[in-house]
Amino acid sequence: MSQALLCALMAAWSLGKMVHQPERDARTVEGAAVKLDCSYDGAGNLDYILWYKQEAYSSPEFILSLFKIGHGKKAKKYVDRFRSTMNASARQAPLRIERVKPSDSGAFYCAFSIPAPAFL
């Protein structure tokens, strides 16, 4: 029997920029794919998006980062099924989770930042 996945989406402020996650939750079934939207008010060559997952009673856990230019990073745990691409002109960076599992349930955060020079 398939189990439902519930992803709570949270908006975040980062460096005076607003990140928008329009849906408050997303539901799907085990084995399907789900897309979590994220748009941001960035406007520079150094736009940097981060995705985090938080489970109940736990600290947020890093999933991945994206640069407007260059490459970001992805936590090893999320390499196979979690993907995101940045559309800088539309200022969007949705997170896509493939082959959803019940353990994927949690609160997902999208954040905007300008990276420190060491990240470039």
Q: Of all residues in the chain, what percent are helix, strand and coil, respectively (each to 5)?
A: 10, 45, 50
List pLDDT tens digits, range 2-52: 444 444 444 444 445 667 777 778 888 999 999 999 888 766 666 788 899
**pLDDT at residue number 39:** 85
Q: Residue 56, class by beta-carbon neighbours within 10 Å (0-12 exposed, 13-18 middle, 19+ buried)?
A: exposed
What tens digit of pLDDT does each residue of 38-84 get? Answer: 888 766 666 788 899 999 999 999 999 988 766 789 999 999 999 99
What pLDDT is attached to residue 42? 63
Position 46 scores a pLDDT of 62
Higher pLDDT, 120 or 41: 41
- Overall pTM surpassing 0.75 (yes/no): yes
- The dotted CATH code for 38-113 is 2.60.40.10
Give 89's pLDDT tier (boundaries 50, 70, 90): confident
